[in-house]
C-alpha cells in the first residue's frame, strides 16, 4: 500500500494513494478538474484561493492553471464537442 501525506486547512492528514488507471484516466481527472475549476470560480482569483489553501496545495494551484493553458494551446485547433 502506498501512503501519502496531504494538508487540509493546515492540518497534516495521512491517506491512501489511489492509482489513476489508464482506462479511466480522463474520466476520473475530469471530475477532479471540474472541482478545481469551481474552487477557482468560487474564490474569485488564484491569489485568493492560494491564501485560503494549505501549504501543500498552494504550490499546485498555478501549476494546474498553467497546465490547463498548455493543453488548450496545444489542442486548440482540434474540433472539441461538449458532450
The answer as to whether 10 is a domain residue is: no
Q: How many domains does the chain have?
A: 1
Task: Give the whole-angstrom CA distance, residue 26 versus residue 50.
Answer: 26
Of 15, 4, 9, 14, which Cα lies nearest the Cα of 55? 9
Q: Which domain holds residue 62?
A: 23-83
The answer as to whether 30 is a domain residue is: yes
Record the pTM: 0.69
List, for residues 56-70, the tens digit of each pLDDT value.
899 999 999 999 999
The pLDDT of residue 19: 64
Instruction: Please report which confidence band the pLDDT of residue 45 belongs to, taking 50, 70 and 90 as the band edges.
Output: very high
The answer as to whether 9 is a domain residue is: no
The pLDDT of residue 78: 85
pLDDT at position 14 over 80: no
Q: Are 54 and 6 in contact, with CB atoms under 8 Å apart?
A: yes
- Across the range 23-36, mean pLDDT stands at 91
Amino acid at each position: 500500500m502506498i501512503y501519502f501525506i496531504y494538508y487540509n486547512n493546515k492540518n497534516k492528514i495521512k491517506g491512501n494513494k489511489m492509482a489513476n488507471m489508464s482506462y479511466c484516466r480522463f474520466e476520473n481527472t475530469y471530475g477532479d478538474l471540474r472541482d478545481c475549476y469551481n474552487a477557482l470560480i468560487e474564490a474569485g482569483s488564484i491569489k485568493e484561493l492560494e491564501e485560503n489553501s494549505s501549504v501543500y496545495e498552494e504550490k499546485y494551484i498555478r501549476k494546474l492553471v498553467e497546465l490547463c493553458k498548455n493543453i488548450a494551446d496545444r489542442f486548440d485547433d482540434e474540433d472539441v464537442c461538449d458532450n
